[in-house]
Amino acid sequence: MSNEAVAPASIASYIDHTLLKPEASEAEVLKVCAEAVEYKFKSVCVNPIWVKTVTKALKGSGVLTCSVIAFPLGATPSDVKAFEARGAVLDGADEIDMVINMAAARANDKGALVDDITAVAEAVHAGEAILKVIIETSMLTDEQKVIACEAAVEAGADFVKTSTGFNGGGATVEDVALMRKTVGPEVGVKASGGVRSLADAQAMIAAGATRIGASSGIAIVKGEQGSSDY
């Protein structure tokens, strides 16, 4: 945890500029890409069907392409998740955000979680991409959050992430702090869901977040209040 707030000028480098609405159009996706280049966000995060489009739009910009896998439910067989992730990486994704098996998480079945995440981690890392693991904190007890984070670390994930933003609840400072404490200093923590202002983002980073997922990225960097749920 840091006692110093990240300056507004630096906050963009933490943000995955996000558009995950299933009905998003190509024009909307390209607009988000242009915004990410203009504001120098860390990545653009989209559904898998848009990875090729985003990769092409961002080429040479330094902004990464991020995609989600088994989104937003996570209730997909692990080999199918791995196949989906492999395809997204082949299409150009630099980072993959996967949703875990929530039934296993709710059952405290760490072994099943490790197996689920490992299958995707191997596919993602084979393509030299980064894996973030969405544990959907709003659906878990603190004990279950810890087990899920431990499983992600054991499986070789690069980040743990709070939320999809689609299943109720979002990131909280308390959850980010718990996740940071659990994964230690080497694994990233992504706060997503309901981060709509500069103050929100700074609070998450102070609690231990190293990445922010938001569709209100422009409002955040301008010091305004965003209105999106994600």
pLDDT digits 0-9 by tens, 173-221: 999 999 999 999 999 999 999 999 999 999 999 999 999 999 999 999 9
How many angstroms separate the CA atoms of 212 and 12, rounded? 9
pLDDT digits 0-9 by tens, 126-164: 999 999 999 999 999 999 999 999 999 999 999 999 999
pLDDT greater than 50 at residue 1: no
- Which residues are designated catalytic? 97, 161, 190
Total-model pTM: 0.95
Contact indicator for 45, 67 with CB cutoff of 8 Å: yes
Residues 6+ apart with CB under 8 A from 67: 45, 46, 47, 48, 50, 51, 88, 91, 93, 95, 96, 97
Distances (CA, A) of 83 to 77, 80, 217: 10, 5, 30
Q: Tokens at residue 25, please?
A: 């159009």
For residue 200, give the nearest of 9, 11, 1 by alpha carbon. Answer: 11
pLDDT digits 0-9 by tens, 90-130: 999 999 999 999 999 999 999 999 999 999 999 999 999 99
pLDDT at residue 168, as a whole number: 80
pLDDT digits 0-9 by tens, 32-74: 999 999 999 999 999 999 999 999 999 999 999 999 999 999 9
* 161: Cα separation from own chain's centroid: 5
